[in-house]
Amino acid sequence: MAFQVSVFLENKAGHFRKITNILSDAGVNIQAMTLSTTTMGWGILNLIVDQPEKAESALKAKQHPVSLRKVIALPMDDSVGGLDSALQMLEKANINMETAYGRNRNSNGKAVLIVDVHDIDNAEQTLKALGAELLSDNEVYSF
């Protein structure tokens, strides 16, 4: 089970860098990210990092609104049709994604699809019942 670090962030010059600076100073490596603008000049920064609890602690210590959320990490081939195959599995499981983003491949030619869903426990059980491979914490953070 992987964790996504989510930060509520004002959409102003330099605010994103403040987050990366805090994480850098804490020795936390950002492995994947997505930044979405919401309403009235605010956004949500979602991160996959190598040390999610440490990231959460460092950001809270600097008064940033942050939360950890369980996400699904599906391995996929880093080739034509790899994402389509992963999405077919999610469709077969009738899973609706709230947020999704990918990570680069590792030395084995695999990539990872990070998926945030409303009912994570049910989604995991359904995917496993269908034979889907889900990455463990260690696999995600060392990918």
Query: For residue 143, what pLDDT band results from cuts at 50, 70 and 90?
Result: low
Q: Would you give the DSSP letter of residue 96?
A: P
Model-level pTM? 0.86
Residue 38 reports pLDDT greater than 80 = no
| Structural domains of the chain ordered from first start | 2-69 (3.30.2130.10), 70-136 (3.30.70.260)
92: left (phi over 0), alpha (psi -120 to 50) or beta: alpha
- Closest by Cα among 58, 63, 31 to 46: 31
Give the model confidence (pLDDT) of 63-114 as tens digits: 999 999 999 999 998 888 989 999 999 999 999 999 899 887 666 778 899 9
